[in-house]
Amino acid sequence: MMRAWHLRVVLVPVLLLMVLGAAALAADSGTITFSLDFPNSAPEHYSMSVQADGNAKYESTGKISLDSDERDDYHTEFSFSDATRTRMFQLASQAHYFAGKVDSGNKKLAFTGAKKLAYSDGQKNTSAEYNYSSQPAVQQLTTIFQSVAATLEFGRRLTYFHRYQKLALDDELKRMEDQARRGEITELQAVKPVLQQIYDDSSVMNVVRARALRIMDMNPAASAGNRR
């Protein structure tokens, strides 16, 4: 009897540590994925995934712009700022990792694209599709993903224009700077490589290079999604 009691005393803390360790490992290895499909828009499709360490991937397909016939598939990798990454995983937790119903079910609302949020780690694999959600955590997370996607789409167009249509860079960077100042696009460090390439290119007009530099110097994480 005494030996069995000692065995229980030893095993309970060990099992507890194993459970806590598994939970911590799952939290450290979690991935949130957001995708949007919206026919006849630019882009028509995009998907973004962010890992618990902030490393992220983005891919999109569609026309360069609505008034262009040129199509360009885009793939890039970047890192989220610590503040945004932390906020995103807090919101995913508040949304119960999208395990329940997310869509509002209101059929009278305008269609704004087929959206999907997914979460996976070593213990769970959950997802939900929606057009509009009334859940504050899902709304905020959607806003973050969409604002970062807007930043990355600027990166896609700037990459294309720098390669094929340098005269279009000025208007594109003007729009980007204006939206950045209004907080409509976020995580600007994600497109720093192309901004740096434009700034370093002596064949680009000086006013355009100066604008690229100003955007690089902006606060990368200032965003509506980070406001409380």
**For the segment 103-149, what is each residue's pLDDT rounded down to a tens digit?**
999 999 999 999 999 999 989 999 999 999 999 999 999 999 999 99
Tell me the mean pLDDT in the region 184-196: 97
Can you tell me the distance from the alpha carbon of 164 to that of 71, in angstroms, rounded to the nearest whole number?
13
- pLDDT (tens digit, 9 = 90+) per residue, 63-96? 887 677 777 789 999 999 999 999 999 999 999 9
Residue of 40, 78, 38, 44 lying closest to 61 (CA atoms): 44
Instruction: Indicate whether this model's pTM tops 0.85.
Output: no
The domain in which residue 135 lies consists of 2-226
For 39-76, letters b (16+ CB in 10 Å) and e give: eeebbbbbbbbbbbebebebbbebbbeeeeeeebebeb
**Lowest-confidence segment of 4-18, 90-104, 155-169 by average pLDDT:** 4-18
pLDDT of residue 1: 52
Tell me the mean pLDDT in the region 5-16: 47
pLDDT confidence tier of residue 224, bands split at 50, 70 and 90: very low
Q: How many domains would you assign to the chain?
A: 1
Can you tell me the distance from the alpha carbon of 22 to that of 2, in angstroms, rounded to the nearest whole number?
31
